[in-house]
Amino acid sequence: MQLFPTTQSPIANQLYNNFIALLVRLYPQRLGDILHQHCAFSSAMSISEKLQKVDRLKAWLDSFRPLSPTLVAELKKLYDVRFTYHSNAIEGNTLTQRETELVLETGITVGGKTWREHLEVIGHRDAIDYIEMLTRSDTAIGEWEIKQIHHLIIRAIAPEEAGRYRQLDVKAAGTEYLYPPHYLLSGLMPEFIQWLNSDKIRSLHPLELAAEAHLRFVLIHPFRDGNGRTGLLLMNLLLLGAVYPIVIMSNQMLAVLQQSQELD
């Protein structure tokens, strides 16, 4: 049985809606496990095989489009919370996912948490809204757009640094790894943008492009603070532009990724 068809016909949509409904009725406690089994990637799979499976999964997801406005709004709230929580947690924000949701949906402050942590949540949500706007307007990505993403993230925390490249040299936290000297940023960032908009990247799979762009950006580390969150938002801006859903990496996964990038 082919779980992820490439067709997008109304008949296919109805069949798979019925299929999911049947799973819910027959296996209410095991539905997550069943779907995970079909979506899981084996460590033995090559990159090419994984990308082919991603393409099948995306085709299956696309077969349900267009989604209703109500469902889209609910999904946005869900992913805004999860994306914001995990991106901030890796940077030391102690708000839980539930507390992050309360801040975003009600605007209340959480006792025992700093005002800075609340502002980080609001700033990240504003930056998500911004990359979604860029996607809708099909705006080319340049230095100004990246600076604006960074500005939205930290404008309420460090306004003097928001959207401005660092003016000092920095090391990766807890290591001796030294990022490129600040005086090279005026050349490195235009080179990065040139690569990002070049013909040579058109042969890359959207996931490969997003991943490589993220890696290149965080290794340049153009800002004093907020590079991790800006890099993830840039990665998701590229994915949204390719009509992929937002990708959320858990703060535990991000910690491992960050450490491996600093050691390479």
Q: Could you list the active site residues? A: 221
Phi, psi of 178 (to 5 degrees): -105, 125
What is the end-to-end Cα distance of the chain in Å, rounded?
A: 42
b or e along 101-135 (b: 16 or more beta carbons within 10 Å of the residue's beta carbon)? bbbbeeeeebeebeeebbbbbbbbbebbebbbebb
Candidates 2, 127, 73, 83; CA nearest to 254 is 83
Candidates 251, 133, 202, 103; CA nearest to 232 is 251
Distance, in Å, from the CA atom of 261 to the CA atom of 264, rounded to the nearest integer, reads 5
Candidates 70, 117, 74, 73; CA nearest to 94 is 117
Q: What one-letter code names the amino acid at 162?
A: A
